[in-house]
Structures are given as structure tokens and as C-alpha cells.
Structure 1
């Protein structure tokens, strides 16, 4: 063993001491000095006497005495050589601390040698030993390593710390550059041994060291647990220590895998089956053994599985499909999963017992041993759930519903992770969860909304957002406005204009209307086609009303009656329409904005807009001169041909055809053609007006394309097999992109061109859509464009109908 020692004869400090001491003569050279030869104590430079090369004394010696009164002879009389006491004192003061340190180090090394010679084998928890001057503590093997009986990758047991091997003085290999892939104490360099011993002596808490040193320590823990058959108390100490190491290296995948497998099988040996708890964090490639034992035992006893065990089974299953909402909002997910599972299986889920029985194999991380475990309960083998699929599919289908319900909350927390306790976040909780996650802030929000309604309902949009989110925004996007409306709707109050169907969003300093919805609404987007139709009519009608600079009472009353007389609306939709009408009439439309958006529309789209405006003007059944003038101003403001107003109003429809007087039929010769009808005003073709009003899909589609009135996430799929939330061209581009894992820049540009798109704009659009929908970009720029496999798999499942099929899901 290499000890940290130094040869005293070589120490420069001791050289100074020796220079101040006199030389000792040999027995043949020891003589008594004569008076002339006696050196002066004050003459340090006087040469020493008695050296072998000194000349003999010239003065004869006296005869020796006999007995006490006889003088000794020169041959028998000893006279101590003289020394420089002053210099010795000076040197002693200077080197005193250094000499003490040398002595202490030598003594510790001697004690270490004596101690390690007595150690051979396992050092228990609470005991300690020293190697190379380092106090290592317990839970380690020390001594001569035994040879591996199975002739493994190494000839000696990896975990044994052999005190006879050399150890470098400093441990400088912190990064493990000199560590082999499968380290063993006997086959690592001396610098690595020093680094490892320093890590052990330092409390085994320095996570900056290479994990290989931790694995070398772990090899001993797993060997002790499985090979030496220790006591239950010691087993628990080892399990606790391995759990600590897992937390210490929480971001290392290898540590989580190997140590996780150890804990999984070790805890089965240290606890009762009934004490095993569900697991909601998957750390390995397969179902955890403890989970297979716990669930298999219940199935073997023919006990139904409750929501906790089914959720745990799904979380740990290698083929589960859990989106970000399940992990970002895990507490809420588990609570809602329990509710939805209980609704479908109030008595639990009964699973048929499989024929396959459970057997588990543990392969040591050190590769030095393996073991097979065949657990039993009540003296019976435990059924193996590893190949069961149907229960997991059931759990997956419930999880899909739960994740859909938590999507809005998850996206809110993704943008604002520090606002989990805010009123806006709690308002996005599904109704079933609100009693389980009470919020004083949410109740305060309801009180604020009730006060605003009592005061007339008008408040600036910036004030509303500030009340919801706690800070005043400088700029408000459509997504933020929609989130605010969703949050208020969960409390039973609404915001107008309707953010999903408005022709434009209000500016931060413009007023919005807070109103009473009459009930809590979970999904504001769930409205009837009739609601959409009437909303468009009153929006366009408000353009006509604002055309002359002010809204007349008759125009307001006519639009209000339009809402009241419309069939197919429920009470909540009528409340929303009334609030939106109040906003339409209070805030003049931005005609310049609408004109810019209408500038490049196609002719058939222009026809749809004109039809909607005419329908709005005819809504009261009478056309007044003021309405004609207003329509002309609206046409001009929107860039439409104002000369067509009169013909549009009187044509009954907008087709460029001659009016039919009467259908052709055979009659008697000479029958007179009917004359002009006598009427006071224009006769309205009520059936044609009804047809125009019923053309909601066309008008809504045109307005949606021009004004982007639907929220991005709620746009329906443009075509079967294409992903939703994108326009037709981008959706088709995405569907083509996921067919290959990588695209060069040239290939990507060519593909975009085939879909009439620009490469740069498409990249930004698709990745923003990917972040919003899947919390991750689809395209990764690296020597071209890599396709993110998880996003591609999710798109594939949604577009080809594989959603919820756990056998084809990717983990």
C-alpha cells in the first residue's frame, strides 16, 4: 500500500537540525580534548573535533587513574562533543509546526496500516475504516477482493477496496476521464482510486463527480443486499441509501434506470404487499415489479381494481400515451381520472386472471451476478399482468377524456407556470374539480364580475385582463382575450365581444361588456349554428346602424327584436347575443380594418358579404330610405360597389338573372299577360330572405377566412386525414412532412412550393402550431429539418384514427 509518508533523512528541515548538531565520533575516535583543543562556546565557526581526518594530538596524554582517585586514560574517558545551542533553538522555533505535522501523518499512516490489516469484508453502517489516510465510513467492502466465481468481465470483485493497491495523493479525476466503462477498484488508475476514496470520505454527496464513482459504490450495496443475505434492518439501510443516491443523481438516466430497478425489486423484500403504494412516475422500460406484484395479487384474489391502481398501471405502462396535461397538471389529472373512472366503474374494474405467472430476474449493475424471483402470495404464484392490454386501453380512453378537459389549464400554466394558484388558473379547472381545489381568488373574481354587471357591464379590456391575471398588459393578443373569456365563463359570467366569433378583437383601452351568463359554461365554443347566424346578422346590422354616425333607437330596437324573435336559441345564447349587440352598438366598427381585409376577396365571397348585409337591412321586413343610404355608406366603407345597393335590395336574391313572372305553361290562345302589381313599397321575397339567412355555413366560412374569427385550436379539420388547427395548405404540408424523418433545405423548399407556400413562413407557422397543440415544435433545424418523432406520432394517431389504441401508442 502506498502511504503518504516522507523519509526524515531527506527532509530539508531536518538537514538544518543536523547541521547544528556535532558529529559523533566512533569508539576508536573518542578522545578527551586538551586545554588547547577545547573549543570556545562563543566561537561557532571552530572546526569539529574527533573526525577521522583530524591530525593526532601533539601533547602527550596523562596516565589513567585507578578507582575513584585515579584519572581515566584517554582511551576510556568519554567527553561529549560540543553543539551550537543557539542555532538549535532558532531552528526549533522555525520548524516546530512542520515537524509536528510530519509526526502526526506518520502516526496516522501506521495506524491505518495496522487497522486495514484487521479488515476483510463488509463494513456495516455506523462503523468506519481508514484507507490511504482517509476515513471512509461504512456500507463498503474493504480487503483483498475475492475472485469472481463465474469468470465475469473482471477477475476480481469490483466493489472491494484493496488497501494494498497504490493511491495517488490528490484525487483529480473528477470527470472520470480515466475510468473504464465498467469500473472495479482493482482495475482503475491510482488517481481514480484517490478520487473515489475522497468521494466516500466526503460524505458521498458530491454530485459533480462522474457517476462512475457512484456506481462503484453501488456495486457493493447491491452485492451486500442480494449475495450476503443481511438482516432485514441492514436491507432497509441499503434501500434507504440507494434512494438517496437516486435523488442525488436525479437527472441521470442510467442512474435512474439501474438504481430504480434495484429499488423496485429490493422493496418487495423489505415490505408487505399491502404496503406497496401506486407509482405515478415511470423510471424503467417495463412495468415496475412492485406494481406487477401489487396489481397481480389483487387480480389473483379476484378483487376489482380502483382508479388509483388503474391510473398507476397506465402511468407506468411502456405503451401509454399521456400528453403534457397529464404531467403538468398531475394532481388535477389524477383527481379527475378518479372521478371519471368512478362514473364508469362505480364498483371498480374486474380483470380476468391471466394464466401466466410472475417471475422476475435481477441483473446486477456490476454484471457479477443474476437472480430469479418467483414471488407468491398465500402460497400461490402471482398472476403476471405484463401482457394484458384491455385494462390499459380502458384506462387510456378515460385518460384521453381527462386530458382534453385539462388542456386549457395546461396551456395556461405552460405560459404562466407561476400562476397555478391564480384566479385565472382555478377558473380553468373543470367544474367537478373546483370543490377539490377551492380558491378564494376565484370567489373574489365572481364578486368583481357581479359588481361590474350591476354598474352596467362596461369595463376596459385591459382592466378585465389585469383583474384576472394580476398585471396590466401592454398588448393583448387573441389567445389572451380568449383565455380571459374562458376564465370568466367558468364563474358564470361572460365577456363580449365573443372572442371566438367577433370580426375583430377590441383594443386594450376599448370597452368590453361583462354580463351574467346565467350558468357556468365550460366550453364557450359549443354553440348552435343558429347562434352563429344571428351573431353575424346583428354584427353586419350594426355596421348599417353606425353608417350615419349615430345609432337610432329604431335601429337598436330592430336588432334587439331580431334576437328575441329568432328560433333555435337557448337562454344562454340569447344572453350572449344581447351582450354582443350592446358592444356592437357601443363601439363603432373599424371600417378601415374591415376594408383592408376585404380588399383581396374573391367575387363569390363578395356576394356572400353583400347577401348578409342585405339580410340585415331586411331583418325588420321593411326597407326605409335611411337604410338604403346607410347601406350605400357601408358598401363604400367596405370597398364594395355602392351602385349595386338598390339592385341588391330589390332582386330578392343576388343572381344576375331576369325575374320570373310566371312559370311557362300551356294555356288558351289569347290569354292576357298579367299586369304590374299595385303595391305601396317593394315586395319582399320572404322565402329568398329565409334562404339567405339559412346560408349560415357559406357566410360564416367567408367571414371566418377573412376576419379569422375562430380560435386557432378550434378550427375544424379542413379535410379528412389532415391535422386540424391549420389552413388547408399548411395542413397538407404537415401531413406530407411526417412521412420522412428528415428533409434537406432544398427538399423542404420544394415541398412548400408544391403546396403554394413559402418555406420561411411555413416553418414558423408549423412550429407555432406544434407548440400550441403538442407543446413541442414539429421541425428541428439541423443540416436541414429533422421531424420530432413524438409530435409526428401524435399527428399520425389523430389523423388516421389510432387515438386511444394503447398497442400502437409510443411511450
Structure 2
């Protein structure tokens, strides 16, 4: 039995001694994890040895220990002591700080420590690589590496932070625990100089469970030689340095070492870096100077990578919260940013302070509130002409509220918690906020802002449409002319007066001007072709100068072509909505078109015929501006007579009774001078044939004007058309027909009574159809032909971001009264038909295909 005990004790002693050697000796191949295991083996060996001694009573500690017992106890004690004090003897992570004359530069203790591939000390004479430096203009203050939890603090030396790392001291930082590398310092990990503003070290198991640090750079983890995952395709949605693969770690460390400014880097790496910045700001209680450095760095990231929706959102939330922490009662500049979830904290605090102090709300703050409100839908006119919209909004606000908008403080108090983007902590901001009213509970200011915004957007609608057709035309005369006159002093144009003088001179010369000259004056270039929208914009622009253009393409039988003239004429001042005309105007315009066609049938326009048409305009009872426009249209139609084909297209689907009314009207207009010339009869025959009436009906209608004594009955739509007419023999073609003037006048008067019938024919629906395609729910033009207005407006808003989470996408669909799945399917089917690909990818939210989005925006 004694022999057995001796061998057991000897075995445990040997095992314990070997474990102690693993802990004590600084061998290069013995990693930290191996030393941990050796410590456990040593403790087990000691416990087993003592247990054997107690059980057998031969070599117990209650008596005098034998030589092996002493050896095991001494080795165990020395091994444990060596492990506890290992941090003071092992080479620390190298922290580069600027030179300081009085400081000593430690050197590596052994070649083994220098040979470590994961953490390389910075030699005294080595040349550092460029590293991230504090933003220009930010307050500068740094110190040596600061322990956050665990380990032994490093020697702290305060020094000004340089613009870039310089050759300097190496500060000792323990290998265990989490350590923050201060701004301006440099740390070398896996052969790369990273610079400051990062966490370096290792976490204990308790740290990992309780408050994991996603941004912690653990030097023990493997790193690839080359980083080839620049876009971050391998990163999870919430990246952690501990969990990403060696290739991604190499990419991340290369980005840090390269100055953190490569625009090609994926947003996942930006977030990995940002996780450390937000943790430092809210969890470690740094000085105010360092906090401002952190805010400046996050602002730089926000500006550089803000095209990504998630980066813009989460970093924006941080900047709001940080501003409140740094200056809870300061005057913060309005952020002017949209929010998909809730009002930004900074906005709520700033306006809350105004409400609390009884200060009236100014126009700019109300506009910020409106734009940032989650329920706000910005119309296209606002996004296209943002600068003009802001100025107009403020002018309209000041007109309604010259003293500002005074608000009553709500009862609800502001409560705010910062939820980390990393998802690892929360920070309560109540101590910084104090007793603050929560303005999110108020609805009246948003209603007032929406009313003013709608008025401003409506006034900018024509200007916005012009910019939609001409993205580079903001500085043209036409663009300026389309601005509301209220904005002219704020957006001056040197060419406006020159255009006005040129147009007035042309009007004095008779008003007939080649159409291409007019467009060139407005747009600065001679057009290759003319479209209805282009001419409509020209008419609207000239109207701002009290100058009219005829024909107005909104109401003309056809628009002028290149090489043909248009008529410039004077309009009453203040007339800008040319589309607002009466039904009588449209009907009489058609009469004028038909009359000019018949009047020119014999090759000349009789003075009597022109006089009758002009008198018809003057006695119509129309507004002065409508009469001026009709006279200008008459001048153009007599210069460019309507083609009979125009009547054919207009009247193709009209009821027969309506077409007969128009045939009679043509006869009456031809007979206003008391005689119908044979050439006029031929023209009327062509007209009858064009509108689908039998030509022999002309003679029945002529007979009504020459033989009947009772008034002519005009058949309106819906009335019975079984009316018999006595058809006389056709008159000789070489003799004119003399008509009864009273009967002709009666027919003209009766055709005027059915002007509503003519109006239906004149209004062919073209404008309405174009408006339906052009208008979206916000009243703006759609660039997505094939989609209905509702889905087009939905898509227009969808393209403002590159990514939407599920709740945002659902809210957007509800905003346009669409079902989420239906909207997704409709837009993707349309995109596949138009661009051979899906626009919306549904994966952990909704991502927008960048290639198709670029095509749609162009």
C-alpha cells in the first residue's frame, strides 16, 4: 500500500510540476489558452495529491510532508503566483504616442515576445503607417491606452493629439481586459497600424455574457493576410469582430489602417467601427473634449456613407442623442431631415425648450418639424425645388404669422432612451433632458405646416414639372419665369427683362413670331422638335410676364410645328393659370376654328367674314383675358388654317346628331356674309364627308336657310333624329346661293345654344389622359409609364432610399393605400417587363436593385 501511495503521489507531483513549468517559462509556442489549461491541471494535481495523503494517512498535510509533497506545494504556489503576475512580465499591446522628452521607451523583454504574429510591439525607430486622426477643427486631447475593465492600467501621459501619428513612445497595456485606444494614439495588430478610437483586448466569459463589445478587436483571433471582402458580403446584419471570419477581419483592419475613408467599404464595417464609438461615448464616461472628438468622427462617417439608409438612420440617431448630452439647453441648428419612425430627439428637445419658455415658433423650425414628421409625404415639387420651396414656405408663414406661431405646452413629458445600434446596451437620457414637454403630442403645428407646404408646393408645380423635363434648366429664363412671382426677388434672373422687351417689340410688329425663336429665347437653345409639354411650359412662362402665346396647346386643334409662327399678345397682369378657362371659351374656340376653315375655302377671307368672327368673340360675354386669347387664336388660324383631317379625328366617335349640329354650324358660318360661294360649298362638302355626314344633307340644310320660314331646329344629342328635310335639287356649281340673313342669324344663335355639345367634341380628353399619366397622388409628373398613378407615386418615394426595413415598407404601402404584398408584386412585375429584373429584393427587409434604380432615376 505504501508503494502504491508513493507512486500515486509521485505521478501527481510530476503532472503538477509539468503544469507549473508551462505557466512559468516564457516559451514562444505556449499561448495564453495553453497556460489557462495548465493552471487547471496544476490545481487538480495538488488537490489529488493532498486527497491521497488524507485518505491513506501516510503523506497527509497534518503531519510532516514528504519531499514530493513539498515539491508539489512549492511548484503550485510558484505557478499560481507566476500566472497572477503574468501581465506584468508579458509584453503588452504596443500603443504609439507622440514623443515626450522625459518619457522612457520600454524595449521588448525577449525575442519570443517580439515574434508574436498577432500583436507586434512598435520598435523605437520604426516608421509608422498613416492612421486615422481626429477630424480637422475638433478639440484635441489624448492619453495613453485606457483600461475599461479588467487588467492593470497603463501609464497615462497627457499630450496634444497630432494630425497624424508620429514616431513616439510605446505605452504598456495589459494583454487581458478591454482597452480603449485614445484618439491620436496608434496600436499595431496583425502587422497593421490601426490608429486610435478603437477597443483592443480580450473579454472574459462574464464580459461576453453580460455586456458584449461587438467592436472589440481581439488580437488572439486569426487574421488573413489579405482582406478581400470589401463589400462585407460575409458579414451578418449585426457584425461582431469576434464572429466574423479572418478574411473579413483583415478587410476591417486594413480599412482602419488606411484612414477609414475608403468609400468602397461596406456598411457593415462602418457599423463595426461605429459600435465602438457609441459605446465609448455612452458607456465609458469620457471627458467632454473626447466626446466632441467622437461626435466629429461619427459626423464624418455619416457624411461619407450616408447614402446607405441604415448608416444614415442609426448614425443620425446617435448624433441627435449626443448633441442633447453635450448641450441639453443649447440652441441647436435644425437638422432638416426626414424620419420614418419618430421625430428626431434633437428636434423634440429644441422645440420643447421654445414651448417651455413661451417662445413663438419661427418658420424654419416649423418647417423642420413638418419635414421630420413620420406622417409627412413630401411632394415631388418639394424634392425637386427644395431651395425654392424653403424660401416660399417661410414667406407664406411670415405672412400668416408675422409674430411667429405660439404653442401651448403639452402635459406629456419627454422621455428618451438611446438604444445602441449594436443592440448591446441602452442609455437613459432623462438626466440630461430634465423636465421637458414632449412636442410630439401636438398636432396643430403639423396641420398648419401641411397647409402652408401644400400651398407652396402647388405654386411650384409648373416650375417642378419644367425641372422634371429639363434637369439642367434651373438657370434658364423659362425656369425663372415659372417661379411664383413672390420668389423672383430671391432668385433673380438677368434675362427676364430682356425677354419682356423682346416680346413687347414682337407684339408691336403684329405678334407673329416663328415658334422656334420663342422656345430658343426661353430655353437658350433651338429645339430639334416640339412637344405639347414644351409649348405648354413656354405659354406658362410667358404668362408670368403678362404675355400670351397662341395657340395654347392645351386647347388647340393642333400645336404649331417648327417653321410655323405663333402669336404673341398682351395678357392682363396677374394671369398665371392659363388652364382655367370657361366652357364657353372652349366652345367658341371651336366655332372660330370651323369658321376660319370655311372662310378660307374660297382662297380669301372676306372682311365681312372676319368681322363676324371677331364680333362673335366680342359679344360672347367672356372675360377680357379669354377674349384676348380668342382673338389671338383667330389670327393664328387665319394664318395657319385648320386641316379637315383635324375635324375627322375630333369627331370620329361623336353621335350622328352632334355631327349634324356641327354641319349646320358650318353652313351658318359660311353664310354670315349673305352668300355661299361654290368654293365654300365644296369646303362644306369636304367637312360633311370628314365628319361622316352624307353630302346630300347639305342641300337639305341649305333649303332650310332659303325656303323655310320657321326657325331652324337644332338636334341635340339624345333627341330623336327622325326629322325629315325636303331636299331641293342641287344648285348649279357656278352660281352663288343667296340666303335669308334673318334665317342665317337665327341658325347661328341656335347653334350657340348647343355650345355644350361642341365643347364635348372640342375636349377630346387628350389633356385629361396625359394628366392621368403625368399626375401622381401628389399632383406631380410620373416617370414610370405603365404604372398607375398610385403605384407610380409609391415607387417614386421608394427610390429615395436603397433599403427599407419591413415596418417602413409596410408604412409606406399604407401611406399610398396599397397592400404590402400587392405593391411589391405590382412594382416588381412592372420592373421585370421594363428592365428585365426585379427592383425590390425581399431579404431581411427590402433592398432596392441599384442598377435598375439608376436607370429609373436617369
Instruction: Verify same fold: TM over 0.5.
Output: yes
Task: Give yes or no for the alignment of 1:595 onto 2:654.
Answer: no
**Deviation of the 1:220 alpha carbon:** 1.0
Matched-pair contact (CA < 8 Å) for 2:120–2:191? no
Q: CA distance change for structure 1 residues 299 and 538 in 2, over 3 Å: closer, same or farther?
A: same
* Structure-1 separation of matches of 2:485 and 2:256: 53
Matched-pair contact (CA < 8 Å) for 2:413–2:437? yes
- 1:634-673 equivalent positions in 2, closer than 5 A: 634-639=684-689, 640-648=693-701, 650=705, 652-655=712-715
Matched-pair contact (CA < 8 Å) for 1:257–1:284? no
Q: CA distance change for structure 1 residues 504 and 182 in 2, over 3 Å: closer, same or farther?
A: closer
Q: Does the residue aligned with 2:376 lie in a helix, a strand or coil?
A: coil
* Structure-2 separation of matches of 1:644 and 1:550: 26
Task: For residues 84-107 of structure 1, give each alpha carbon's deviation from its aligned partner in whole angstroms, at most 9, with x where no partner exists.
Answer: xxxxxxxxxxxxxxxxxx9xx979
Select which of 577, 589, 594 maps to 2:630.
577
Q: CA distance change for structure 1 residues 695 and 272 in 2, over 3 Å: closer, same or farther?
A: farther
**Deviation of the 1:523 alpha carbon:** 0.9
Q: 1:137 maps to which residue?
A: 195
Select which of 113, 116, 121 maps to 1:111.
121
Matched-pair contact (CA < 8 Å) for 1:354–1:384? yes
- 1:605-644 equivalent positions in 2, closer than 5 A: 605-614=658-667, 616-617=669-670, 623-626=674-677, 630=680, 632-639=682-689, 640-644=693-697
* Structure-2 separation of matches of 1:694 and 1:237: 80
- 1:555-570 equivalent positions in 2, closer than 5 A: 555-570=609-624
Task: Give yes or no for the alignment of 1:252 onto 2:303.
Answer: no
* Structure-1 separation of matches of 2:828 and 2:657: 36
* Structure-1 separation of matches of 2:172 and 2:347: 45
Structure 1: which 5+ residue stretches go unaligned? 1-6, 8-101, 661-678, 742-776, 790-811
**Deviation of the 1:582 alpha carbon:** 0.9
* Structure-1 separation of matches of 2:355 and 2:668: 66
**Which region of structure 1 is more displaced relative to structure 2, 494-503 or 528-537?**
528-537
Q: Does the residue aligned with 1:609 lie in a helix, a strand or coil?
A: helix
Q: 2:742 maps to which residue?
A: 683
Matched-pair contact (CA < 8 Å) for 2:674–2:739? no
- 1:298-377 equivalent positions in 2, closer than 5 A: 298-374=354-430
Q: 1:481 maps to which residue?
A: 535
**Deviation of the 1:725 alpha carbon:** 12
* Structure-2 separation of matches of 1:274 and 1:579: 62
* Structure-2 separation of matches of 1:680 and 1:547: 18
Matched-pair contact (CA < 8 Å) for 1:535–1:577? yes
**Which region of structure 1 is more displaced relative to structure 2, 346-355 or 175-184?**
175-184
Q: CA distance change for structure 1 residues 368 and 315 in 2, over 3 Å: closer, same or farther?
A: same
Select which of 310, 325, 331 maps to 1:275.
331
* Structure-1 separation of matches of 2:268 and 2:544: 53
Q: 1:532 maps to which residue?
A: 586
**Deviation of the 1:412 alpha carbon:** 1.3
Q: CA distance change for structure 1 residues 469 and 156 in 2, over 3 Å: closer, same or farther?
A: same
Q: Does the residue aligned with 2:567 lie in a helix, a strand or coil?
A: strand
Select which of 175, 198, 221 maps to 1:165.
221
Select which of 115, 126, 134 maps to 2:184.
126
Task: For residues 405-444 of structure 1, give each alpha carbon's deviation from its aligned partner in whole angstroms, at most 9, with x where no partner exists.
Answer: 2121112111211111111111111111112111113333
Q: Does the residue aligned with 1:122 lie in a helix, a strand or coil?
A: strand
Q: 1:401 maps to which residue?
A: 455
* Structure-2 separation of matches of 1:478 and 1:484: 10
Q: 2:754 maps to which residue?
A: 695
* Structure-1 separation of matches of 2:791 and 2:449: 31
Q: Does the residue aligned with 2:561 lie in a helix, a strand or coil?
A: coil
**Deviation of the 1:363 alpha carbon:** 0.9
* Structure-2 separation of matches of 1:693 and 1:149: 91
Q: 2:241 maps to which residue?
A: 185
Matched-pair contact (CA < 8 Å) for 2:586–2:762? no
Matched-pair contact (CA < 8 Å) for 2:514–2:565? yes
Select which of 529, 549, 565 maps to 1:495.
549
* Structure-1 separation of matches of 2:778 and 2:185: 64
Q: Does the residue aligned with 2:427 lie in a helix, a strand or coil?
A: strand
Matched-pair contact (CA < 8 Å) for 2:661–2:714? no
The size of the alignment, in residue pairs, is 617
Q: CA distance change for structure 1 residues 198 and 784 in 2, over 3 Å: closer, same or farther?
A: closer
**Which region of structure 1 is more displaced relative to structure 2, 140-149 or 444-453?**
140-149
**Deviation of the 1:190 alpha carbon:** 2.9
Matched-pair contact (CA < 8 Å) for 1:495–1:513? yes
Structure 2: which 5+ residue stretches go unaligned? 1-27, 29-110, 125-169, 706-710, 716-720, 726-737, 796-825, 841-858
Q: CA distance change for structure 1 residues 547 and 608 in 2, over 3 Å: closer, same or farther?
A: same
Q: CA distance change for structure 1 residues 501 and 279 in 2, over 3 Å: closer, same or farther?
A: same
TM-score using structure 2 length: 0.65
Q: 1:240 maps to which residue?
A: 296
**Deviation of the 1:180 alpha carbon:** 3.8
Matched-pair contact (CA < 8 Å) for 1:134–1:198? yes
**Deviation of the 1:624 alpha carbon:** 2.4
Q: Does the residue aligned with 1:594 lie in a helix, a strand or coil?
A: helix
* Structure-2 separation of matches of 1:647 and 1:148: 106
Task: Give yes or no for the alignment of 1:381 onto 2:427.
Answer: no
**Deviation of the 1:537 alpha carbon:** 2.3
| Higher RCO (C-alpha under 8 Å, 6+ residues apart) | 1
* Structure-2 separation of matches of 1:162 and 1:724: 56
Task: Give yes or no for the alignment of 1:441 onto 2:495.
Answer: yes
* Structure-1 separation of matches of 2:828 and 2:713: 48
Q: Does the residue aligned with 1:521 lie in a helix, a strand or coil?
A: coil
**Which region of structure 1 is more displaced relative to structure 2, 413-422 or 463-472?**
463-472
* Structure-2 separation of matches of 1:494 and 1:212: 58
Matched-pair contact (CA < 8 Å) for 1:715–1:725? no
Matched-pair contact (CA < 8 Å) for 2:120–2:188? no
Q: Does the residue aligned with 1:151 lie in a helix, a strand or coil?
A: helix
Q: CA distance change for structure 1 residues 532 and 381 in 2, over 3 Å: closer, same or farther?
A: same
Q: 1:55 maps to which residue?
A: none
**Deviation of the 1:258 alpha carbon:** 1.2
* Structure-1 separation of matches of 2:284 and 2:546: 66
Q: CA distance change for structure 1 residues 389 and 687 in 2, over 3 Å: closer, same or farther?
A: farther
* Structure-1 separation of matches of 2:198 and 2:675: 99
**Deviation of the 1:182 alpha carbon:** 2.9
**Deviation of the 1:202 alpha carbon:** 0.2
* Rg (Cα) greater in structure: 1
Q: CA distance change for structure 1 residues 715 and 192 in 2, over 3 Å: closer, same or farther?
A: closer
Q: CA distance change for structure 1 residues 253 and 715 in 2, over 3 Å: closer, same or farther?
A: closer
Task: For residues 464-512 of structure 1, give each alpha carbon's deviation from its aligned partner in whole angstroms, at most 9, with x where no partner exists.
Answer: 2222222222221111111111111112211111222111111111111
**Deviation of the 1:230 alpha carbon:** 1.6
